Structure 1
């Protein structure tokens, strides 16, 4: 498994209600996506960083998802370019089924 942390940082704050709307609109395409185990949409408490965290089955699927075209699209959506970090997941706890 591989994690991908995508961070958008603004000099001013993100509007929480706008990000919540975006999350609702963007959620559907990820549901049932092959190779994607989970995706979360997050906003830090200061409101200056929006973060999306993905867990993928393998690195190839993760890296092939984040194309230049996709980065351009999300830059337009969030208003700033993302920082994309690939993380090796060494362990995973999932309590959602209990």
Structure 2
């Protein structure tokens, strides 16, 4: 498994309700996406960083998803280009089934 942390950093605080609206509007295409286990939309405590975290089954699928075209598209949505970090998941606890 591989995790991908996508960070959008602004100088001004993000509006939480605007980010929640974005999350709701963008949720659909990710539901049932092949190879994607989890995607979360997050806002840091200071409000200047919106972060999206993905858990993928396969590194190739994760890396092929984040094309230059996609990065340009999300930069338009969030107002800044994101920083993308690929993380090797060495263990996970999933309590969603309990």
Alignment of 1:1-98 (within 5 A): 1-98=1-98
1:81, distance to aligned residue in structure 2 (A): 0.3
* Partner Cα distance (2:55, 2:23) in 1: 17
Question: Deviation string for 1:34-89 (max 9, x for gaps)?
Answer: 00000000001110000000000010000000000000000000000000000000
Q: Secondary structure at the match of 1:24?
A: helix
Q: Secondary structure at the match of 1:37?
A: strand
Task: List runs of 5+ in structure 2 lacking aligned partners.
Answer: none
* Partner Cα distance (1:31, 1:3) in 2: 17
Structure 1 residue ranges (4+ consecutive) displaced by more than 4 angstroms after TM superposition: none
Q: How many residues align?
A: 98
Q: Secondary structure at the match of 1:77?
A: helix
TM-score, normalised via structure 2 length: 0.99
* Partner Cα distance (1:47, 1:5) in 2: 17
Task: List runs of 5+ in structure 1 lacking aligned partners.
Answer: none
TM-score, normalised via structure 1 length: 0.99
